[in-house]
Amino acid sequence: MKLPRKLHIKSYGCQMNVYDAQRMVDTLAGEGFVETAGVDDADLVILNTCHIREKASEKVYSELGRLRVAKDEAARQGRRMNIAVAGCVAQAEGNEIIHRAPVVDVVVGPQSYHHLPELLARAEANGHALETEFPIEDKFAFLPPPKPAAIRARGISSFVTIQEGCDKFCTFCVVPYTRGAEVSRPVAKIIDDVKRLAEHGVREITLIGQNVNAYHGEGPDGRAWPLGTLLHHLAALPGIVRLRYSTSHPRDIDETLIEAHRDIPAVMPFVHLPVQSGSDRVLAAMNRKHTARDYRRAIDRFRAVRQDIAFSSDFIVGFPGETEEDFRATLDLVTQIGYAGAYSFKYSPRPG
């Protein structure tokens, strides 16, 4: 009897990467892999990477240095350990990863991880395999559904990707170049995913996307459905008790989303709505295409229908050219909104 191969996967960065990691596990389960918590006994180690900040990117190379030692030890034991770098660093740096860290066998971008079995076979034959193109086909059409046991093991909450990519081109952000243009999944596919999860015990769904409230997937009626309409239909599915979504953009809030918060008990009274800065001058330099006043109005629209609604946000401190006055404007905004939480970062220079 052939023993299963062991897979260890480590994710950095956003919720999308956590979801992608789970789907890689589902894909490789069909190839005889089972997850292991440690690196030492793994036959395949995948680093699922983030490229937003320099520190997150450099952590990958530090980890690869440690993995080289583990790979050498596996070889001494007569085992082959494969190492793959996936995600946004893979997409952005491609061949440079193999140049800097020859220990890596496979480099695969976030739109191509459904090709992992084929890439591993290529690496076995050729030493290395790389795929960082944006494939024409939709990866979700090729990903196997998670097995019931895997769904149950992950608990009562689950992520479901409904939208990927970004067309906003904020000047500080690499996402349009690593995740590609905005693409929304068809409504029917999302409903199928959520039904399958609910049938196996999931009760809380978090819909995720780089700009999740820009969702415009094709509905059963042939029209593009906004996020609010999708939420109404998902809330009606048996077993679904709570619905969340992340991450939103202030420019993509429409009336159907506001109404969903007003009318659907399953939609949790919480919105993650990044603003980055409270200064109009800095927001313009960031190419955010909204002002601080626009942002406050968006908050007011939600609060008008749900007074108990909570907000979190993202902030960049030290954006090029930011003054003390600009920074005080951000602090004023924080005080006025009264956030439940925030992700705050110093500006990180990135290539391009």
Mean pLDDT of 251-270: 98
Q: Residue 188 in 3-state DSSP?
A: helix
Q: Is the pLDDT of residue 137 over 60?
A: no
Instruction: Give the per-residue pLDDT at 25.
Output: 92
The Cα 238–Cα 215 span in angstroms is 23
Please state the rounded mean pLDDT for residues 156-175.
Answer: 93
Look at residue 135 in the predicted model and tell me its pLDDT. 66
CA distances from 1 to 4, 78, 127 (A): 9, 19, 28
Task: Give 178's pLDDT tier (boundaries 50, 70, 90).
Answer: confident
Higher-pLDDT residue of 312, 115: 312
Indicate whether 136 pLDDT > 60.
no
Per-residue pLDDT band for 51 (boundaries 50, 70, 90) equals confident
Query: If pLDDT is split at 50, 70 and 90, which confidence band does 171 have?
Result: very high
d(CA 321, CA 318): 8
Question: Contact 161/186 with Cβ under 8 angstroms?
Answer: no
